[in-house]
Amino acid sequence: MAGAPLAFPSFYRVLAFDSLPSTMDECRRQAAAGAPEGLLVWAREQTAGRGRRGRSFASPPGNLYLSLLLRPDRSAAEGAQLGFVAAVALADAVSGLLPDGAGRVKLKWPNDLLIDRAKASGTLLEGQPGAAGRLDWLILGIGVNVMSHPPDTPYPATSLKAAGSSARADDLLAALADAFVAWHETWRDRGFGPVRAAWLDRAAGLGEPIRVNLAQGSLEGRFADLDETGILWLDLPGGRRRAVAAGDLYFPEA
């Protein structure tokens, strides 16, 4: 296990590793053993990382890979809002580490971060149902391209380094840890409204034509809104409006 030389807010208990197969797997193991909220598993590389829908996730050294254990005592639908909490916090953290970052960082539904319209991060949520329809735990898995990004991806990709930042993974982790605590407290105390407003302020493609790939088929229309629960509203040809709870969003030029 590697040392963690950074100072973290008291919310966190950090387990840092030079290498892990998957931070999600380690965090899930800790959650099942009763680890408290705020456990953060951080690895400098992953050898078997994965993304959404079980896709493999390349995880070379130099980038940021972490999984954070939360115990929100909310329904699964409410817990899913924590993906937007993480996205807004990450946008704040990355913006502060990029030249002219505030105007270059956008969020792609549901919780990817873009720099100059190229993907720089992804977030994976996994939850465990508990009693009375509430979550026993929820894990946020976050991967950010800091020093490198994969070539030949379905969506244009970039890294902080390619975007002109000299930040290291440690620098981003410190900034993200602070930003997440602040936004998590906002969500806990004031609900999803402020998070939704901050997310919409940085939303990529809002009001524009988009394509959403679903588990079966795809939809094309105009990105109309993000509702009060985090669902995307898509205006379809012919004047119909469709709610989309899960899918992969693409822009026409992608």
Domain boundaries, the chain: 13-201, 209-250
Q: Can you give the pLDDT at residue 1?
A: 44
- What pLDDT is attached to residue 247? 92
Classified by CATH at the fold level, domain 209-250 comes out as: SH3 type barrels. (2.30.30)
User: Residue 89 in contact with residue 121, Cβ under 8 Å?
Assistant: no
Please tell me whether the overall predicted TM-score, pTM, comes out greater than 0.75 for this model. yes
pLDDT at 3: 44
Q: Beta strand pairing status for 13-17 and 39-43?
A: parallel
Contacts of 30 by beta carbon, 8 Å cutoff, 6+ apart: 15, 39, 41, 69
- pLDDT given for residue 2 in this prediction: 45
Run means of pLDDT, 10 residues per run, the chain, 254 residues: 69 96 96 97 87 62 96 94 98 95 92 95 94 94 96 89 96 97 98 98 96 92 96 94 94 73
Question: What is the per-residue pLDDT for 28?
Answer: 97
Contacts of 197 (CB under 8 A, 6+ apart): none
Sheet holding 118-129, edge to edge: 13-17, 39-43, 64-70, 135-144, 118-129, 112-115, 105-108
Q: What are phi and psi of 180, to 5 degrees?
A: -65, -40
pLDDT, tens digit (0-9, with 9 covering 90-100), for 148-182: 998 888 889 999 999 999 999 999 999 999 999 99
pLDDT of amino acid 4: 45
Tokens of 134: 């509430």
Name beta bridge partners: 213: 218, 248
Q: What is the DSSP letter of 50?
A: B
CATH 3.55.50.30 for the 13-201 domain, yes or no:
no
Q: Provide the β-strand partners of residue 203.
A: 107
Question: Using alpha carbons only, what angle is made at residue 204 by residues 209 and 253, rounded to the nearest 5 degrees?
Answer: 50
**74: how many CB neighbours lie within 10 A of its CB?**
19
